[in-house]
Structure 1
């Protein structure tokens, strides 16, 4: 590849997706770099085909990116990616966000990835804490569908298929025992939907909403070279994009940074293979293409319609649309010529739609034709703006709003093309209840080269406006319509940055979750409330804590005066539990009140360069788990974080003296000052100094230290000899884990100090765990280790290498693949007791 070509390609291919794609909060845009001849081609290529395809998957990153790039960018097919959940149960390779916050990140990454491949994205999961949630790894599709709600997931999938009406559907995975249960579940319901989406008796409520049944024409599943029906040439090089479709697909995968996705591939032939699983037509052993035997062009569609009574004029119109599409392509890359041909085709599509609507065609045929023409209309609107070089923007005075606020928005249209457009109308769209008043002209007779039209609106946000929802469509959009060459086009645009309605006083509580040691019930709980003022200008508010009955808090309240919006101040409270506090779960809620406004929410700002800024609005609370916990006095721990967990923060809350070790510390500091050194999950893969200093760590153990190593994957540069006695991680990784958090645990060495000092561990301590028991369990280990537990998923062999500990010299070495990084933040009492025992271990 020529130097710099691929870098430039990445910039060019992150352009806005086809009009008709789902509208999402956007990352910061490089508007100038995103325009030009490549985006023009991306906009007009879909005009050449009326075919559509859908790829279904379970999580963000499940999409078949190379195949999607081939279909969308290469063939112009109307391509959609349907993903079930938001990836909340995964790991985070760019920060410490987990659960819902991680789901927000992965959703934004998926949205940006879909832009690269020009793919329409839909999610079955619709909101925070949706039933279709990534609850962690599962070995069972039955468990997955039970937790999601099988009817909920299936109804949403059928609804999506009936709405988008794909000709071809491709589930991303097979229903095989070695595959993630979430992947298997999506395969199962996708395969089942092939017939059910066409059956009006399945979810008949859809028809009452105007959503009609749809028969998918072909369903393909992933296959191998020796068993395929179709092979997709993803290695084909596209001169316009300066890359192969595999490379384009990987550019989209690089957007999944929280999962460490994306690989660099050299040029050359490569194929993806698929097997035809179901079809409504003729089955062939080998096919040249997904769409063999399916109408692909307007001419093909005209031939299908020919046999229908009263279709004569419609057939002629469809053939004319074929000529229109050919003319658009022939005009490329001459922008003005393309614009003229696009608008001629747009006018013809509008006329054809009207004729189809008025025709006596069979109702099913009429619905199908109108859908395909509507898709084409949306594509033509996009192509029009690209060909005319219109730069369209909606710009807020501020992106951070509060209920009851007044602000301004401007809608602009800049003409960078060589031909004028007429009757330009700039319209602002707002949620129900919001009010907009135009304070300038909104319609312009003509917009010529290098001219900008601007409409300014005063906007009033109602007092009962709903707070920002990260998975909802943008609250504010704009429609820009204009006329050219006898046809009107309209583009829907969104602000470049997320516009969010936030709490007037957004509070962050530290800690957000903590332990109340019932052995020391009167020990005060410090709670720091950090308040950000989102109200415009100066403001005053009172901060107080709502605590459980019988508890006390000092001070009762604190008054804060803010000089300006965006200012942040903090208040420190001390909470003391009641004398008779019992082991249980308790909640402290922060309340901000002032200027007639009250807030009990916080707004976590989530900001990364590749996804821009978004927010997680959540209750401003502290979760408190009360239970008995013994912690040795003066215990000193050195923590080596990979950045993927925050257990060190919780150890400090429990009363442990924790120091986060730097690379310099690990390489040259006196490690013997620490009673214990803990390596965070996957630390060897992300802290390179550990590999070069591993002998120092083992020497630390040999001299009497306590080293605790949490789970690793083989790709984390783990080698059996890194441990004092070899530990080999089991592969394939999917099989070496326990996913049932309620699975029975047998303590094999009940007298071991890890189960007795300083906390006595009983069977009760294995209750109330979340998501998983363990991940990436060892398959082989030295005889020197004590096997501490046995545990497995129901119906499977139990693992005995999950929790291993050995004496080495004067010290101790413990390797554990238990998912502490999930259990400790969830304040699982047994997990906390055992972790404290683990960092307290001595010979």
Structure 2
């Protein structure tokens, strides 16, 4: 993605790149989900102090809600991961993820009240091994989990606290995950562990409110700038200038006195490292090297903001790092000390490469002619380097890196004697993608990168970049099925299911393919196949089929898969494009399937529903599949249309918070009920502008929110009013209808409500008091008002039979 250019971009980015050269210290912040990072503290350490700052997050946030679109599950996890990556760039933080792939064991399975449940579902040894591995790879001096292990805290947050505290000792123990040592990964002893604290009991107060003149903001403001990237969660806030602190308590030792910062007693600079080695009374050459590097860093900072001077000093420091590496390797230092020094020097070398790029105003790009490629395709890619700096770069070499099995051939020169101010050099490569190339994996590093090697003042520099847009190996033909999930009503198996397959051609140029459907045994599909001809890449064409189940089809789950065949190429996948301005374009490749749930469902004929979506759910689409006549109501309809034409009006989750016209039109909705309408309101948070008086009889949502939800999807449900029409008409609801729900039962349950409501169910997590306000319904005038905190928006798209039967009953109350 092209980035907007700002006037202070160069000098600020230059400072951001050279500040880390002044310290060898490192700190790691651990959390469970994207947005768990302590952004202000990270901004202070990284941007303010230059500390090598690390953020390690467990899962991808797949189980959360989405405030910018309808993506849930893995697609939402991709959005949140990309948002986290962009947020980390702003604060110059190195990001590590414990969840490694789609459908990883370390999955956000929804809200949890228990760290034990969380670790059991993730696999304690799985998540712990990965955390220990990250610690041993990144070797932080200080570690700070984002949350405490307190009962009022999300179980995922508590779990990360538990394993982070445990890892303080275990990461240094070679007997814990000894396979790491066999792979060359050395144990690492974290020096200090801090926990979040308050201003009454702490060891370190981090001055996050301090104002940084170079950035023109406080560290809180810089942290919030990164948090604004978490748009799918509605994060980021505007903060005024002024003094403020984050507080932390030392957990790794008994210490009551206040500390200046996390690094009291820990080597912070190269000079500190030199003193530690000097105290051992040996290796004067290494001591001299470290002191030279300390002086080098001071000289780099002193040269700021003159780019050419900074570039010269950076190269001198780089040469001294190379000398130090050689001397450390040849020294008589203990093996563990050598390993530590070599790692810190390796980090410094990478930082110097980045600083060299900024100081030389070197702009490197790798541009494929297309980012959407298929196995077997040949594609051109151009690597270019532009110099906006005053220093002449010598012996410039452009390289393109591709996966093993891919081949590259340079078309023309890749080496250039020099690159001077305002000049560009470029190299074109022909890349052959093998026929067995692995398809795009969204959580893996870019398959394509470019290196630019150069010399400045006889010292080598190296820059690695990746394409600004994803390079993705995609299936030759991608197929999306509509619907993606549906119900087979076993009361009407004679009715065929229409299936639309939209085929997108990713192959270069004109081509054709045959589309067919794989259906369950004894099911019938017509036509058997359909030919599709494409004139060009990127073209899409629809084909339709009729799928018919045999009479007597049993209740259960079934799958229909689309297949595209073209010569020796077979595709059975869909490519979901995820594209937002703040994160760019990426892809989720998944099976091209239609999930079918067969069960009996009665739907009143001619039922007419008006649906007010908050943008967070797609229940209306499923109601249409079930045979309900659904109209999505826009702001004008809510404000001025004749609402009496609808048997039922449904408000999506949190609608009052995201559809402002509802507040001003609330009396119209209540009048609709009073005159005989059926109004269904799904759950809200207090911050969604919910007020008890919005309901015809007051409903107050319980706080703190964490305590007013049921997280066990298998928890027992008791129907308190079994003869209520919601449980009888048109579908008879039994205990079996509460089975096989997913993720949660309910969220943000009411704590108080008017006596006019009928309490329909009682339900709670094991060992806790049951809620009776989860499902409330009351007559109001001639109509009915129902408020439900059940998580319909998760259950219905996952075709949970009981939830669908119950929802149909709820919207049928007027019938």
TM beyond 0.5: yes
Shift of 1:701: 0.3
- For residue 133 of structure 1, the aligned residue among 107, 119, 124 is 107
What does residue range 275-674 of structure 1 map to in structure 2 within 5 Å? 275-279=249-253, 283-308=255-280, 310-674=282-646
Q: Is the 8 A contact 1:641 1:660 kept in 2?
A: yes
| 1:100 corresponding residue in structure 2 | 74
| 2:169 corresponding residue in structure 1 | 195
Structure 2: distance between partners of 1:290 and 1:389: 34
Structure 1: distance between partners of 2:293 and 2:784: 76
Structure 2: distance between partners of 1:77 and 1:311: 26
| 1:264 corresponding residue in structure 2 | 238
| 1:151 corresponding residue in structure 2 | 125
Structure 2: distance between partners of 1:797 and 1:628: 34
Q: Secondary structure of 1:225's match?
A: coil
Q: Is the 8 A contact 2:145 2:195 kept in 1?
A: yes
Shift of 1:450: 1.1
Once the two structures are superposed, residues 504-540 of structure 1 have per-residue CA deviations (whole angstroms, 9 ceiling, x without a partner) of: 1111110000000000011110111001110001010
Structure 2: distance between partners of 1:362 and 1:220: 29
Q: Secondary structure of 1:314's match?
A: helix
Note if 1:809 corresponds to 2:781. yes
Query: CA 1:33–1:395 in 2, change beyond 3 Å: closer, same or farther?
Result: farther
Structure 2: distance between partners of 1:335 and 1:527: 62
Q: Secondary structure of 1:278's match?
A: coil
Note if 1:166 corresponds to 2:140. yes
Shift of 1:579: 1.7
Shift of 1:203: 0.4
Shift of 1:841: 0.9
Q: Secondary structure of 1:195's match?
A: helix
Q: Is the 8 A contact 2:490 2:552 kept in 1?
A: no
Note if 1:714 corresponds to 2:686. yes
Once the two structures are superposed, residues 423-458 of structure 1 have per-residue CA deviations (whole angstroms, 9 ceiling, x without a partner) of: 111111111111111111111111111111111110
Once the two structures are superposed, residues 803-843 of structure 1 have per-residue CA deviations (whole angstroms, 9 ceiling, x without a partner) of: 00000000000000000000000000000000000000138
Q: Is the 8 A contact 1:537 1:564 kept in 2?
A: yes
| 2:217 corresponding residue in structure 1 | 243
| 1:50 corresponding residue in structure 2 | 24
Structure 1: distance between partners of 2:5 and 2:337: 41
Structure 2: distance between partners of 1:44 and 1:681: 47
Q: Is the 8 A contact 2:648 2:814 kept in 1?
A: no
Instruction: Calculate the TM-score normalised by the size of structure 2.
Output: 0.99
Q: Is the 8 A contact 1:310 1:359 kept in 2?
A: no
Structure 2: distance between partners of 1:34 and 1:566: 39
Give unmatched runs, 5+ long, in structure 2. none
Shift of 1:273: 0.5
- For residue 273 of structure 1, the aligned residue among 224, 247, 256 is 247
Structure 1: distance between partners of 2:550 and 2:511: 35
| 1:67 corresponding residue in structure 2 | 41
Once the two structures are superposed, residues 632-687 of structure 1 have per-residue CA deviations (whole angstroms, 9 ceiling, x without a partner) of: 00000000000000000000000000000010000010000000000000000000
Structure 2: distance between partners of 1:450 and 1:488: 21
Q: Secondary structure of 2:769's match?
A: coil
- For residue 212 of structure 1, the aligned residue among 163, 170, 186 is 186
Q: Secondary structure of 1:275's match?
A: strand
- For residue 81 of structure 1, the aligned residue among 55, 61, 67 is 55
Shift of 1:358: 1.4
Shift of 1:35: 4.3
Once the two structures are superposed, residues 750-777 of structure 1 have per-residue CA deviations (whole angstroms, 9 ceiling, x without a partner) of: 1111001000000100000000000000
Structure 2: distance between partners of 1:251 and 1:522: 57
Which structure is richer in relative contact order (CA contacts within 8 A, separation 6 or more)? 1
- For residue 760 of structure 1, the aligned residue among 723, 732, 741 is 732
Stretch deviating more after TM superposition (727-736 or 283-292): 283-292
Note if 1:736 corresponds to 2:697. no
Structure 1: distance between partners of 2:92 and 2:473: 29
Structure 1: distance between partners of 2:567 and 2:37: 48
Shift of 1:479: 1.1
What does residue range 220-235 of structure 1 map to in structure 2 within 5 Å? 220-235=194-209
Structure 1: distance between partners of 2:473 and 2:5: 25
Structure 2: distance between partners of 1:33 and 1:157: 41
Once the two structures are superposed, residues 52-76 of structure 1 have per-residue CA deviations (whole angstroms, 9 ceiling, x without a partner) of: 0000000000000000000000000
Once the two structures are superposed, residues 375-406 of structure 1 have per-residue CA deviations (whole angstroms, 9 ceiling, x without a partner) of: 00000000000000000001101010001100
Q: Secondary structure of 2:251's match?
A: strand
Shift of 1:285: 1.8
Structure 2: distance between partners of 1:309 and 1:211: 28
Q: Is the 8 A contact 2:75 2:588 kept in 1?
A: yes
Matched pairs, number? 815
Structure 1: distance between partners of 2:559 and 2:30: 40
Shift of 1:487: 1.1
Q: Secondary structure of 1:672's match?
A: helix
Query: CA 1:322–1:347 in 2, change beyond 3 Å: closer, same or farther?
Result: same
Q: Secondary structure of 2:742's match?
A: coil
Q: Secondary structure of 1:822's match?
A: helix
Structure 1: distance between partners of 2:72 and 2:761: 27
Q: Is the 8 A contact 1:540 1:595 kept in 2?
A: no
Structure 1: distance between partners of 2:247 and 2:408: 53
Q: Is the 8 A contact 1:394 1:411 kept in 2?
A: yes
Q: Is the 8 A contact 2:481 2:593 kept in 1?
A: yes
Shift of 1:31: 6.5
Shift of 1:284: 4.9
Q: Is the 8 A contact 2:411 2:429 kept in 1?
A: yes
Structure 1: distance between partners of 2:434 and 2:293: 46
Shift of 1:267: 0.3
Structure 1: distance between partners of 2:666 and 2:195: 46
| 2:767 corresponding residue in structure 1 | 795
| 1:701 corresponding residue in structure 2 | 673
Stretch deviating more after TM superposition (145-154 or 310-319): 310-319
Q: Secondary structure of 1:395's match?
A: strand
Q: Secondary structure of 1:629's match?
A: coil
Q: Considering only aligned residues, what root-mean-square deviation do their CA atoms show, in Å?
A: 1.0
Structure 1: distance between partners of 2:160 and 2:431: 43
